[in-house]
Structure 1
């Protein structure tokens, strides 16, 4: 069973993914998010990088999100989304590594524009604004919380730890809770 924090994290992510703000997440939302990310980093729509991000998003949609759709309308409502992420990602031990880590790796490869193996603050802010519609202030706050060693960049490992904490941890103190910016106050 998900605690209040885990439910709030998933509701926050749902809001960020609902590109057209219609109260549901569908394949178009995933495609739009992938395309915004690729465009923000200057890759052409048909490029290898673009295809990789789109393919990972499509796989996440097909294997995780679409099966959440309880009523068969190919649109996932918040309650379905929260229950589905719990079933596919939060609860199973390998859920994060099977379903979310490949998407995170594609993001990482795209964000690391200079190929130095580190994600800078600028690269992270560009990703957060494009893929998840986060404000610069919220993205900056997230970056500061995720940069545990204060060196001004994030390693692939730091991002995987943060991602897994976001999706799986019930702990209020986890730095990964900040992956998508500050959580909205309890409703």
Structure 2
């Protein structure tokens, strides 16, 4: 796979910032991630003590700390520019956390609502809408592109690989 130009990767990361700034204050902090985790919980229809939510929270806590470490920011929040730079550095440094791989597996467990080991078109649509308020018709989140073996479902490997390809572009 060819790497995308730096400016297009930055644009993807900036779009992620916009989706993550859930309290709309122009900065990312842990409160934004708590809102995100609650969206996952509500979309999955589970409560706080569900193991999958606990794993998601642990993943996001470690990821957040890695972002802060790589940002060099003095406080506990990140501006858009700090987030872009920290994301690039965190994604490139898999010594402590391979965010694409670990996050992919943790998120897969929540998106696979019926626990059958695969993600259906409906499950992906529910996840995109419920967690990210994204319409499944958005070409960046194309089910068919993730279903690389064209069997009508997204396997764990296909899901994790898709996330890795986006984050490591």
Give the TM-score, by structure 2 length.
Answer: 0.85
**Whole-angstrom CA distance in 2 between matches of 1:116 and 1:140:** 25
Deviation at residue 80 of structure 1 after TM alignment = 0.9
2:72 is matched with which residue: 53, 70, 73? 70
Deviation at 1:104, TM superposition (A): 1.6
Q: Equivalents in 1 of 2:95, 2:18: separation in Å?
A: 22
Tell me how far apart the structure 2 counterparts of residues 19 and 76 of structure 1 sit (CA, whole Å). Answer: 13
2:118, 2:155 within 8 Å by CA — same for their partners in 1? yes
| 1:26 corresponds to 2:29 | yes
Partner of 1:122: 122
Q: 1:95 to 1:139 in 2, by over 3 A?
A: farther
For 1:55 and 1:142, how far apart are their aligned partners in 2? 28
Structure 1 residue 48 and structure 2 residue 57: aligned? no
Q: Is residue 164 of structure 1 aligned with residue 164 of structure 2?
A: yes
CA RMSD in angstroms, aligned pairs only: 2.2
Alpha-carbon deviations, 1:89-145, whole Å to 9, x = none?
1x34x3696233222211111121222211111111122222222134328952233
Normalised to the residue count of structure 1, the TM-score between the two structures is 0.78
Unaligned runs of 5+ in 1: 170-187
* Residue 58 in structure 1 maps to residue 61 in structure 2: yes
The answer to whether the 8 A contact 1:101-1:160 is kept is: yes
Q: Is the 8 A contact 2:121 2:153 kept in 1?
A: yes
Matched, 1:11 2:14: yes
Distance 1:106 1:150, change over 3 A: same
In structure 1, what is the equivalent of residue 98 of structure 2?
A: 98
CA gap 1:107/1:65 in 2 versus in 1, 3 angstroms:
same
Shift of 1:46: 2.2
CA contact (8 A) 2:70 2:90 kept: no
Counterpart Cα distance in 2 of 1:72 and 1:161? 34
Is the CA contact (8 Å cut-off) linking 2:68 and 2:86 kept in structure 1?
Answer: no
Match of 2:131 in 1: 131
Q: Distance in 1 between matches of 2:95 and 2:27?
A: 23
Q: Deviations over 1:41-92 (max 9, x none)?
A: 1101222222121121111112x22224434231111111111111121x34
Give the number of equivalent residue pairs: 165
